[in-house]
Amino acid sequence: MATETHAADAAQGASAPGMPQLDFSNWGNQIFWLMITLIVIYFVLSRIALPRIAAVLAERQGTISNDIATAEELKAKAVDAEAAYNQALADARIEAQRIIAEAKAEIKADLAQATADADAQIAVKAAEGEKKIAEIRAGALEAVQAVAADTAAEIVAAMGGKADEKAIGSAVADRMKG
């Protein structure tokens, strides 16, 4: 019993000062293990962990800036492509305008040609017609003269006269002139 109490007392005696932190007998031990711990951590961090993390972070930074550069490049390409497309569109429009103008001019020329041809043909036809009309008119005058002379001769004969053919002809010609 007594020994147990003593043991308990002794155990408590070790921690009795209230704060085990102020028990200087084990400071050497703690400091020894702390130094070992710090040295181990220092070497693990400075030799392995920190360079590795620094490399990973730098690599990530590189990847990100690379990606951004690539994106910029692609964007510039897209802008270029758009410009080229617009240029092509404008060119095509100008070409189309040119073709339309050419076609228009051609059609106009054809039209003018056709009109001129038609006019010429019409003129020819009209001249022909006029000539025919003149011929017909001339023919008619002659026929009228002949009929008038015949009729006059018949009338003179019927009236019992003896008609001189020459006199009748000149008389008919005179009348027709008048």
Q: Which residues bind other proteins (CB under 8 A)?
A: 1, 4-5, 8-9, 14-15, 18-23, 25-38, 40-42, 44-46, 48-50, 52-57, 59-60, 63
Token couple for 21: 């932190």
Do 149 and 171 form a contact (C-beta atoms < 8 A)?
A: no
Shortest Å distance, C-beta 1 to other proteins: 6
Q: Which is nearer to other proteins, 55 or 105 (CB)?
A: 55
Shortest Å distance, C-beta 50 to other proteins: 6
Shortest Å distance, C-beta 71 to other proteins: 17
Sign of the C-alpha dihedral computed for residues 153, 159, 164 and 169 taken in this order: negative
Shortest Å distance, C-beta 69 to other proteins: 16
Q: Which is nearer to other proteins, 63 or 170 (CB)?
A: 63
Do 13 and 25 form a contact (C-beta atoms < 8 A)?
A: no
CA 64 to CA 71: how far, in whole Å? 10
N-term to C-term CA, the chain: 190
